Amino acid sequence: MASHLFLPIELRSVELSNRVIVAPMCQYSAVEGTPTDWHLMHLGQFAVAGPGLVFVEATGVEAAGRITPGCTGLWNDEQEAKFKDITEFCRGYGNAKIGMQLAHAGRKASCDVPWNGGAQFAPDHEQGWPVVGPTDIAYADGWQTPEALDDEGLARIKQAFVDATKRCVRIGYDVIELHMAHGYLLQQFLSPISNQRTDSYGGSLENRMRFPLDVFDAVRAAWPDELPLGVRISSIDWVEGGWSLEDSITFAEALKAKDCDFIDCSSGGNSPLQDIDAGPGYQTGFAADIRRETGVKTMAVGQITQARQAEAIIRSGQADMVALARGFLYDPHWVWHAADELRAQAAFAPQYARSHPSMQGLPIPGNPPTPK
């Protein structure tokens, strides 16, 4: 029986060769927002190894929107030029489509890199900066109190998303994903835990969705009609009284009405009080529920590590795509190994084609067997 995981999928004019996605993974290795050769290596190794789509990490639309000083950004020409070089490298040697995840960290910005503990820097620290949010509610005790965004601040950030989108067009990305998950700015507006505004951007679910939907509209208008635009959400906050699956379904319906092409269904990240029930495929049910209730394409993510597990998710209709992160860090050739296990075909860079199991035992090119 043919593998469903390795069937192509169309997102507007973009056809992915299979349903396996390399999820955005922060590398904390940029310099002043500009990606480095580490990113060339990181993204390039996946681009040549057969996934349908490779996402660049969460990339700040302004300097203050980065999670850490080591996070990538897309607000100046130097960053754009380096990203273009990396994208052209991936496309020139690879066989995957390339996507960008645009983000703003909001009140969770100005942090140290994870391997140094990840604590938030004070605004006057040499590596820190002041943070913003929907309201002046800190993420946790000891964290900065964010400046509540006023109309001018909201307009500035929305324009920053538009400007970064225009840079994405020039770079040549195939897909954009807006990061509205994990407790970063756009999810901060969605969740009642972090959004306690009393104006048109707070209070009711409709009001809390307003700014994220405004940003989506602005990006959609700046992004070519023929190219897909999706959104990563935190399907639930994992906190009583927080953002719920029912809220996510309502939000997904609103996004679908605005021509959103897919929902990437993650969860959590907006409160240190979260109580996550983690395990293999623990977020897949969210993707299934949102897909069933709204009809929008979904991407399942979260502890999806095995080929047959991923195949079952797609074959059973729980999601249209699966995204892996740590699985690819552990095994950059996950797609090749999955294809072999599922008796499917995956793209190989010609330089690596002789590593395919079907080529084992054959003479090494350029070293034919000695005639008898």
Which of 256, 326, 257 has its CA nearest to residue 291? 256
**Two tokens at 46?**
């996946």
> DSSP label at 177?
E
Q: What is the rounded radius of gyration, in angstroms, for the C-alpha atoms of the chain?
A: 21
* Residue 326 phi, psi (nearest 5): -60, -30
Residue 314 burial (CB count, 10 A): 22
Residues in the chain: 372
Decide: residue 303, CB within 10 A, 0-12 exposed, 13-18 middle, 19+ buried. middle
CB 299 within 8 A of CB 325: no
Which of 123, 113, 118, 116 has its CA nearest to residue 144? 123
**Two tokens at 7?**
């069937």
Residue 93 annotated as catalytic: no
Helices 77-93 & 37-47, crossing angle to 10 degrees? 30
**Two tokens at 271?**
């409160």
3-class DSSP assignment, residue 182: coil
Which residue is catalytic, options 28, 173, 184, 201? 184
Pseudo-torsion of CA 43, 47, 51, 56, nearest 10°? 30
**Two tokens at 237?**
């906050």
For residue 141, the Cα-to-chain-centroid distance in whole angstroms is: 28
> DSSP label at 140?
S
The span from the CA of 275 to the CA of 242, in Å, is: 12
Which of 46, 11, 2, 58 has its CA nearest to residue 299? 11
Strand pairing class (53-60; 20-22):
parallel
CB 143 within 8 A of CB 106: no
Geometric angle at alpha carbon 12, from 11 and 18, rounded to 5°: 25
Please identify every residue annotated as catalytic: 184
